[in-house]
Amino acid sequence: MMRRIFNLTILILSGLFLFGCEQKTDSEAANKTDKKEIVVGLPPSMHNILMERVVKPELEQKGYTVKLVNFSSLRDSNTALVEGSIDMNAAQHQSYLDVYNKETNNDLVSLVHIPSISAALFSQSHRSVNEITPNQTIAIPNDPSNTARALLLLQKLNWITLKPDTKPGTTNINDIAENKYDLKFRLLLSEIIPRTLGEVDYAIMPGGVAWLSKIPADNVLFQEQLSPNLELMVVVKKENLNTAWAKDVKALYQSDALKRFINEDPDAKGRFIWPQQ
């Protein structure tokens, strides 16, 4: 008899424990879905202006509390995202994220592509790409990734022709098949190029470098057309992809308010390209 009572007691307590666990799980799931505080990681990036001046104020109008946390690197921001101390960041493209996920065995995902700052052709001495003439000098970045992007931009302008079997990500000076205007190239650190604008006819540099160097957007003569895998994205944990807060963030990065900002704000005008996807 005592054994039956004991077993019945254990059964009841087990049931109550499982019910409590289930209630807690349901509560945690509801909190993730209905949460009203969003913690945003901000690695060093000129794109942070989009969050600070448009997305954050709009989210706060919707009743959210938005906390911005600065990081010294994108990788540190991703680590915090994996660990759950932040909810999102917006400073990497798909190519970078694919490598990060593979190296760390994680499954961070893109929520939405955002306006990005492309590389561009600049000049202080010429007002148009139509002023190209033989033997002019062009400064381009010397790191492999940005060298490749610069040469592809020049090919788009029809100033050079690259060899047919050239791989986009590893293109270098030796891959030029035809140099239509016998252009001279100066390969420099991206950060140095802004200081050489007075010494060359044209220069190609990453948009973020130009912005940090306070080069006027009016000096942009031709912008790189970013492929989708190089557009920056809002990145979140896979489990948060369909939450209400994530959908609100996505909608704001696709909003007319943000489009107006990048087209009209003095600091942003002429810098950003609206994403293709």
CATH class of 35-117+229-273: alpha beta
Instruction: Supply φ then ψ for residue 137, to 5 degrees.
Output: -110, 135
pLDDT confidence bin for 27, thresholds 50/70/90: very low
Instruction: Look at the pTM and tell me if it is higher than 0.85.
Output: no
pLDDT tens for 148-174 read 889 999 999 999 999 998 887 778 999
The boundaries of every CATH 3.40.190.10 domain in the chain are 35-117+229-273, 120-225
CB 122 within 8 A of CB 210: yes
Whether the Cβ atoms of residue 65 and residue 38 lie closer than 8 Å to each other = yes
Q: Check: CB of residue 213 under 8 Å from CB of residue 271.
A: no
Residues 6+ apart with CB under 8 A from 143: 189, 190
Confidence of residue 139 (pLDDT cuts 50, 70, 90): very high
- The residue with tokens 């540099």 is 205
Q: What is the mean pLDDT of residues 187-191?
A: 92
What is the rounded distance in angstroms from the CA atom of residue 161 to the CA atom of residue 237? 42
Q: In 10 A of CB 64, how many CB atoms?
A: 17
Q: What is the DSSP letter of 39?
A: E
- Which superfamily does CATH assign the domain made up of 120-225 to? Periplasmic binding protein-like II (3.40.190.10)
- 248 compared with 43, residue with greater pLDDT: 248
pLDDT digits (tens, 9 = 90+) for 39-63: 999 998 889 999 999 999 999 999 9
Return the residue matching tokens 């680590």: 79
> CA distances (Å), 24 to each of 42, 117, 146, in order?
32, 44, 50
Mean of pLDDT values over 133-149: 91
pLDDT of amino acid 30: 47
Greater confidence (86 vs 73) lies with 86
Count Cβ neighbours within 10 Å for each residue of 73-99 and write b for 16 or more, e otherwise: ebeebbbbbbeeebbbbbbbbbebbee
Over the chain, what is the mean pLDDT? 88
